[in-house]
Amino acid sequence: MAYHSVREAIAALRRAPGLAILSATSIGLSLFVLGIFGVVAYNLEVTLQAVERRVEVVAYLRDDISAAQLEVLQNDVSSFPEVENVSHVSKFEAMRNAIQQLEEFHDVFTDLEMNPLPASLEVQLRPDFRDPTSVARVAELIALYPFVEDVRYGREWVDKIYQLRRLGGAVAAILGIAFAVVAILIIGTTVRMAVLARREEIAIMRLVGATDGFIRRPFLLEGFITGLGGGLLALLLTYAAFLAVDGSLIDLEWVPASWASGGTLAGGLLGLAASGAALRRHLTTYG
């Protein structure tokens, strides 16, 4: 049974290579649009993540904080579920950083008789807790400690990044679904053409008493192979487009291997699903 399905699927592809190439190309071009969209979406995500990694809460400490109090504060803050990392910046380190980062004020800093910069705790948050609500909550909790002078976290740009991420997510979802629907429609039409081209063969199978399952299997396999071919073509085209743009127009990152292999496999699965739908319709229409 499996032997027959595999042999028939391969034989069908060899008997009508033009139709198979047309189907694979049409699937490939549909998925290519999705692939380009995937690269753009991935790079937007990478950029947003890089910005988000810089979201941190800085707690400025009173000068009279004792070592024991500092240890308690560090331990407490580290144990917050939102917190990824806590690092202490002493008054001396704060001054050294200021001198390094603000070279134009080098003389001002070195002329000071005493160090006016406070020590601080720099608190980095876990990726899932970089939204405005979580950041504000952590800041409020830290501010409750009496030996904390002030807490800063750049409320405005945290809000903006978060809005941008939500907007990006919504646009990506809508566009992704729209492109996927278009791809499915094109693939469905292509496979339906292939099924119609072989309607006589299907009619004869039914005439001689083949079960629906037996009729479907070679077509499903053929749809999967064609879809996989289309997926590989889309991968090649997307990579070629990536190479053409990367470095010359804009610096891009190539999508992870799981995205590339998942996309190619999705081509196969789309071919399989489109074949299944076209056959289902055909088998019920031509009882």
CB of 220 to other proteins, least distance (A): 14
Q: Does 206 bind other proteins (CB under 8 A)?
A: yes
CB under 8 A: which stretch of 93-101, 132-140, 165-173, 202-210 binds other proteins?
202-210
DSSP character at residue 167: H
Strand partners, 89: 120
CB of 192 to other proteins, least distance (A): 21
Q: Does 197 bind other proteins (CB under 8 A)?
A: no
Q: Which of 67, 68, 208, 250 binds other proteins (CB under 8 A)?
A: 208
CB of 18 to other proteins, least distance (A): 14
Q: Does 214 bind other proteins (CB under 8 A)?
A: yes
Residue 117 backbone phi and psi in degrees, to 5 = -80, 135
Residues with Cβ within 8 Å of residue 236, at least 6 apart in sequence: none
Alpha-carbon torsion (18, 19, 25, 29), positive or negative: positive
Mind giving me the DSSP string for 202-232? HHHHHHTT--HHHHHHHHHHHHHHHHHHHHH
**48 or 193: CB nearest other proteins:** 193
Query: Within 11-30, which residues bind other proteins (CB under 8 A)?
Result: 15
Residue whose token pair is 């690269």:
39
Q: Which of 181, 196, 197, 203 binds other proteins (CB under 8 A)?
A: 203
CB under 8 A, 24+ apart: contacts of 150-153: 150/59, 150/60, 151/57, 151/58, 151/59, 151/60, 152/57, 152/58, 152/60, 153/55, 153/56, 153/57, 153/58
Q: Does 207 bind other proteins (CB under 8 A)?
A: yes
CB under 8 A: which stretch of 18-26, 126-134, 148-156, 196-204 binds other proteins?
196-204
CB under 8 A: which stretch of 37-45, 117-125, 208-216, 269-277 binds other proteins?
208-216
DSSP element (H, E) containing 156: helix 155-197
Q: In the complex, which residues of this chain contact other proteins (CB under 8 A)?
A: 1, 3-4, 8, 15, 200-201, 203-212, 214-215, 287
